[in-house]
Structure 1
Amino acid sequence: MLTSTKAIRFLETLEIPEGPKAGELIKLAPYQKKFVKGALADGVSVAALSIGRGNAKTALSAGLALGEVKGEWDDQPRREVVIAARTRDQARIAFDFCVGFIRGLSEDEQAQFTIRRSPKLEIEFEDENGSHFIRAIAADGKSALGSAPTLVLMDERGHWAADQGDALEHALLSGLGKRGGRALIISTSAADDAHPFSVWLDEEQEGVYVQEHRPPPGLPADDLESLKEANPGAAYGIGSSLDWLQAQARRAIARGGSTLTSFRLYNRNERVSGENRDVLLTVDEWLGCEVSEPPARQGQVVIGIDLGGSASMTAAAFYWPETGRLEALGTFPSKPSLLDRGQRDGVSGRYVEMQDRGELSTLGAQTVPVAEWLGEVMAHVEGETVAALTADRYKQAELGEAIDKAGIRCPVVWRGQGFRDGGEDCERFRRAAFDGKVQTIPSLLLRSAFADAVTLRDPANNLKLAKARSTGRIDAAAATVLAVAEGARIMGRPSHKGGRFAWG
């Protein structure tokens, strides 16, 4: 009999320990059976599950942990299961599910278990082969060193602290190899593509099974079909009902801000940052700037420039303040390739996808030749009247030389990126975005840039732009802020209608 078949049969003998259906036997939904079959398939050592909150992923994994320690499909002596979570309290959730399942067993079976809550959360199971353990630990890599688990459950991996979480994951996975163990990595989506949990989901690896319930980005928060996709348990009475989810979505839309961002992250299982206090624009605020039919190129255009080095992107934003039309282009050096660069930056094939969409290009070898790149920038708006070219004064000498070399003749506005100029530019950009004066076609380049763009505040509450992560590429966002802010200043100046006074 297949291991997964044994596991499914065992799970459906357990009683639900809590909730409206407490006391009833578990009935696995199709998505749960799919995960069990994939996670316990031959040759699989790591199984990753990403799904919306409340879809019984922790309960399912706790049931598998109990079956493992009981030897329902693994007869190794001294079996050991490790439940790892960000904090002890988080680990206790899965631990308590195991305890709840044990209390639903027969008295003879319960007598084989010893449950300890101090000094450590531990369950001991005794049979003819000796003692077997379930241990719950927090995200401290040192606590897992020396262990040789047969099963590891990493609960809510997408929200572990970066350094300690990575250390614990490495310690656990290295221990699994000693006994041919398996790891179950379960969580709602992490905040970005660079997170290790996102990497598990995105990169195809031998011996890794991935099951992700994540809707496409950019949909309304109350879209029914995407709610079903992120919450497949709702159709089977598991977790929140679809009516409740839609009601919460509408409440989140009405309140906006962190409420809406959190709903997208946890209930819709989208990869958006749950930390929105200091982001330049939330994901929903930026999506409000994307339109299927952008306004025409009309009036003068302002070009924002952000020069990068060998590793970072060089970007240009084109803004027509009269209509609010926004366009953006990014450029990388050709070495390394976009695919290799994407792997290095933790965004997989996103750069290649941007190139396919015509939003990103390569130029030069190790660095982007500035003069040649400026020629391409001006060619993008050939025939248009350029009101101004605006850029960071930090690279004024380099860019000024390139402007002269390229033979560009237009007003140049130099802006600082500190709290003085940066604060004004960020606020002007945000105001224009909120007033509907920034409109662009859906752009993966801009969407990615604004997802990584955060703001730092000084004691006087002035803003300046910064990266959310070290490998984030916010160059297109920085260029956009410069262009839109200068466009707002141009539109705010009084227009001269001619006529002069003659003094006698």
Structure 2
Amino acid sequence: MALRLRKPKVLTKTDLLADWVADTFVDQNGAPLTLCQFQYDFLSDHFADDPAGGPLYRTTVLSTGRKNGKTVTLALLVAGYLDPSSPLHVPFAQVAINAPTSRHAEFLPEAIKLLYDRIDRGSDWSFNKAPPPTFRHKGGKGKLTCLSGARASGHGLDLDLALVDETGLMPKSNETVQNTFDAVASKDGRVILTGTRGDSDTYNEIINNPDARTKVHLYGVDKDANASDPATWAQANPGLGVTKSRRFMEDAHAKGEQAGSLTEFRVWHLNMPLSPTRQLLLEYGDLTKAYDETADPISGEPCFVGMDLGGSSAMTAAVVMYQESGVIRCIGAFPGEGTLDLAKRGKRDGVGNAYVTAAERGELFETSGAVTDVAEFLDRLRDFIGPHPVLSVSADRYRDAEFRTAMARAKIDWPIITRGTGPKDGDNDIRATRRVFLSGKAKLRRNLLLEAGLTEADVKVSTTGAMQIDKSHRNARIDVAQALTLACAAFVADLDAPAAEMEVTVL
């Protein structure tokens, strides 16, 4: 019987890198560092060669929720290119990373340095901060260049490996991705794109419609996925339980719920294709929890009114919130004269038949004139409120004179509070609105006009974290949402006001 010897396993480049990583580096607990399966699969496609020559995939994409080991994956790969002790070392390798800012780009060399510090070899590397910052292994001839994500960033470079981190956060109309791709032309190099999807058209087009030379590793969920389901969390986080703790996910979810918006959780941790700088004013679930078809104000109960004044195309809206019961009621009006009836307005504004239905339910009406007659609206509002004292009416500071004139014409003398719509007042009013609904103080019968307004309203978040209401699209009507925040802010201010103290002296 002939003796047959088993052929030794042929190690792939990914196997060689994984073995070198395990033999060289340690994790934060001092144990040998090993690759997760999703990291191994991604690197295998990155290293894959075309039998005809060159890379099988010019571009590989890794898109996951945050904190799944993406930066460590890139750090190990770049170290493999630049460290002479690596089995995959490329002499004179030219590597560059592009990111939304130079600070973002510097996270990668910092991650490499941390890996080497753990094995007391941090001194093997040198970092030159002179722009553009460069990172080198002292024993090799290659380098990593950190770029700023500016429009011309990456133009003119000749690279073996080109990286774009946080691709979904790159500014629109930015040429960075194309410049990075072009930079590998002369060396027949490879490109890696990483980051959460965000709302970048360029990045999402690459992910959703990759060409034959692009391999996408996407770990994310659709917009309509249940953000509170742990099974959903696992789909977007391949390192869950290893590189990212389950307890952290629970805490991040609870934090979002407490703040009144899960948008950041959905964007950063579930990798949904959403904008991280735009949120909903209220989650639909938080709104529906406040629905109570028996909700009515207490007889004679004082109330607060929030008003948003409209023009020829905009709605004039008022939201009434009652001081003790927390009941919310709202009403709106469009000008009745002109070429647009309620059905046409609904079609133009993208809300379908909502205005017609709201009018049938008594939530919306039309005033005389081609522009909403504010005095006429106030007359109707006074009847709508009925025998309830109005403690204050909050309105836009920008149209203060117009509003006071209309109040005088309607012979109404409610106390007026003027508010701005920018991030100073707007941030306070948005937080007050979320607080009212999250605390369970708000009660209301279902109101289609309010639902339509909340659907059309976005909350724009600045880099400082300040918020203000914004339209979700050009024709969006956010008048009811603005009025709601004004009424809720007045309600919360009254709720938080210190109780009056009386001192009685007995003579």
TM-score norm. by structure 1 comes to 0.57
Counterpart secondary structure, 1:66: helix
Kindly indicate whether residue 253 of structure 2 is the aligned counterpart of residue 246 of structure 1.
no
Q: Equivalents in 2 of 1:248, 1:428: separation in Å?
A: 21
Kindly indicate whether residue 227 of structure 2 is the aligned counterpart of residue 213 of structure 1.
no
Kindly indicate whether residue 71 of structure 2 is the aligned counterpart of residue 83 of structure 1.
no
Q: Equivalents in 2 of 1:122, 1:92: separation in Å?
A: 9
Partner of 2:407: none
Choose which of 160, 163, 176 in structure 2 pairs with 1:153. 163
Q: Equivalents in 1 of 2:283, 2:99: separation in Å?
A: 33
Counterpart secondary structure, 1:184: strand
Against the structure 1 CA distance between its residues 51 and 180, is the aligned structure 2 distance closer, same or farther, given a 3 Å change threshold? same
Q: CA deviation at 1:55?
A: 0.9
Kindly indicate whether the alpha-carbon contact (under 8 Å) linking 2:291 and 2:444 is maintained by their aligned counterparts in 1. Answer: no
Against the structure 1 CA distance between its residues 487 and 144, is the aligned structure 2 distance closer, same or farther, given a 3 Å change threshold? closer
Q: Equivalents in 1 of 2:452, 2:219: separation in Å?
A: 24
Partner of 2:207: 201
Q: What amino acid is aligned across from residue 82 of structure 1 in structure 2?
A: A
Aligned length: 395
Q: What amino acid is aligned across from residue 254 of structure 2 in structure 1?
A: R
Kindly indicate whether the alpha-carbon contact (under 8 Å) linking 1:227 and 1:242 is maintained by their aligned counterparts in 2. Answer: no
Partner of 2:481: 481
Partner of 1:360: none
Against the structure 1 CA distance between its residues 244 and 86, is the aligned structure 2 distance closer, same or farther, given a 3 Å change threshold? same
Q: Equivalents in 2 of 1:30, 1:453: separation in Å?
A: 38
Counterpart secondary structure, 1:234: coil
Counterpart secondary structure, 1:83: strand
Q: CA deviation at 1:146?
A: 1.3
Kindly indicate whether residue 344 of structure 2 is the aligned counterpart of residue 373 of structure 1.
yes
Partner of 2:20: 13
Q: What amino acid is aligned across from residue 84 of structure 1 in structure 2?
A: N
Deviations 1:322-341 (A, max 9, x none): x9899xxxxxxxxxxxxxxx
Q: CA deviation at 1:375?
A: 9.3
Q: CA RMSD in A?
A: 5.8
Against the structure 1 CA distance between its residues 373 and 60, is the aligned structure 2 distance closer, same or farther, given a 3 Å change threshold? same
Q: CA deviation at 1:147?
A: 0.3
Matches within 5 A, 1:223-234: 223-234=229-240
Q: What amino acid is aligned across from residue 282 of structure 2 in structure 1?
A: E
Q: Equivalents in 2 of 1:283, 1:382: separation in Å?
A: 22
Choose which of 346, 362, 365 in structure 2 pairs with 1:389. 365
Partner of 2:336: none
Kindly indicate whether residue 282 of structure 2 is the aligned counterpart of residue 285 of structure 1.
yes
Kindly indicate whether the alpha-carbon contact (under 8 Å) linking 1:52 and 1:266 is maintained by their aligned counterparts in 2. Answer: yes
Partner of 1:499: none
Against the structure 1 CA distance between its residues 385 and 99, is the aligned structure 2 distance closer, same or farther, given a 3 Å change threshold? closer
Against the structure 1 CA distance between its residues 306 and 166, is the aligned structure 2 distance closer, same or farther, given a 3 Å change threshold? farther
Against the structure 1 CA distance between its residues 288 and 424, is the aligned structure 2 distance closer, same or farther, given a 3 Å change threshold? farther
Partner of 2:391: none
Q: Equivalents in 2 of 1:63, 1:449: separation in Å?
A: 45
Q: Equivalents in 1 of 2:477, 2:236: separation in Å?
A: 29
Q: CA deviation at 1:242?
A: 0.9
TM-score norm. by structure 2 comes to 0.57
Against the structure 1 CA distance between its residues 197 and 123, is the aligned structure 2 distance closer, same or farther, given a 3 Å change threshold? same
Q: What amino acid is aligned across from residue 135 of structure 1 in structure 2?
A: T
Counterpart secondary structure, 1:227: helix
Partner of 1:45: 58
Q: What amino acid is aligned across from residue 373 of structure 1 in structure 2?
A: K
Partner of 1:348: none
Kindly indicate whether the alpha-carbon contact (under 8 Å) linking 1:289 and 1:436 is maintained by their aligned counterparts in 2. Answer: no
Against the structure 1 CA distance between its residues 151 and 289, is the aligned structure 2 distance closer, same or farther, given a 3 Å change threshold? same
Q: Equivalents in 1 of 2:366, 2:486: separation in Å?
A: 7
Q: CA deviation at 1:448?
A: 6.8
Query: Relative to structure 2, which stretch is displaced further, 68-77 or 86-95?
Result: 68-77
Q: Equivalents in 2 of 1:174, 1:219: separation in Å?
A: 36
Counterpart secondary structure, 1:233: coil
Against the structure 1 CA distance between its residues 99 and 465, is the aligned structure 2 distance closer, same or farther, given a 3 Å change threshold? closer
Partner of 1:139: 149
Q: CA deviation at 1:268?
A: 3.7
Q: Equivalents in 2 of 1:36, 1:142: separation in Å?
A: 28
Partner of 2:107: 93
Partner of 1:358: none
Partner of 2:128: 117
Partner of 1:66: 79
Counterpart secondary structure, 1:20: coil
Deviations 1:339-397 (A, max 9, x none): xxxxxxxxxxxxxxxxxxxxxxxxxxxxxx84572598489539935453369x9xx74
Q: Equivalents in 2 of 1:387, 1:179: separation in Å?
A: 66
Kindly indicate whether the alpha-carbon contact (under 8 Å) linking 1:454 and 1:466 is maintained by their aligned counterparts in 2. Answer: no
Q: CA deviation at 1:225?
A: 1.7
Q: Whose Rg is larger?
A: 2
Q: Equivalents in 1 of 2:272, 2:451: separation in Å?
A: 15
Deviations 1:424-473 (A, max 9, x none): 999699859832537589x9997874346679xxxxx9x98534xxxx51
Q: Equivalents in 2 of 1:141, 1:423: separation in Å?
A: 39
Choose which of 165, 185, 193 in structure 1 pairs with 2:193. 185
Q: Equivalents in 2 of 1:85, 1:380: separation in Å?
A: 48
Q: Equivalents in 2 of 1:417, 1:86: separation in Å?
A: 37
Q: CA deviation at 1:58?
A: 0.8
Q: What amino acid is aligned across from residue 92 of structure 1 in structure 2?
A: E
Kindly indicate whether the alpha-carbon contact (under 8 Å) linking 2:184 and 2:190 is maintained by their aligned counterparts in 1. Answer: yes
Q: What amino acid is aligned across from residue 146 of structure 1 in structure 2?
A: G
Q: CA deviation at 1:60?
A: 0.7
Q: Equivalents in 2 of 1:177, 1:262: separation in Å?
A: 37
Kindly indicate whether the alpha-carbon contact (under 8 Å) linking 1:53 and 1:266 is maintained by their aligned counterparts in 2. Answer: yes
Q: What amino acid is aligned across from residue 149 of structure 1 in structure 2?
A: L
Q: What amino acid is aligned across from residue 285 of structure 1 in structure 2?
A: L
Q: CA deviation at 1:84?
A: 2.3
Kindly indicate whether the alpha-carbon contact (under 8 Å) linking 1:115 and 1:122 is maintained by their aligned counterparts in 2. Answer: yes
Against the structure 1 CA distance between its residues 73 and 380, is the aligned structure 2 distance closer, same or farther, given a 3 Å change threshold? farther
Q: CA deviation at 1:149?
A: 1.1
Q: Equivalents in 1 of 2:157, 2:71: separation in Å?
A: 22
- Where does structure 1 lack aligned partners over 5 or more consecutive residues? 327-368, 401-410, 456-460, 489-504
Counterpart secondary structure, 1:33: helix
Q: What amino acid is aligned across from residue 68 of structure 2 in structure 1?
A: N
Deviations 1:279-334 (A, max 9, x none): 7xx448323356599888x99xxxx999999xxxx9999x9x9x9899xxxxxxxx
Q: CA deviation at 1:202?
A: 3.8
Q: Equivalents in 1 of 2:26, 2:453: separation in Å?
A: 45
Against the structure 1 CA distance between its residues 444 and 305, is the aligned structure 2 distance closer, same or farther, given a 3 Å change threshold? same
Q: CA deviation at 1:82?
A: 0.7
Q: Equivalents in 2 of 1:445, 1:181: separation in Å?
A: 51
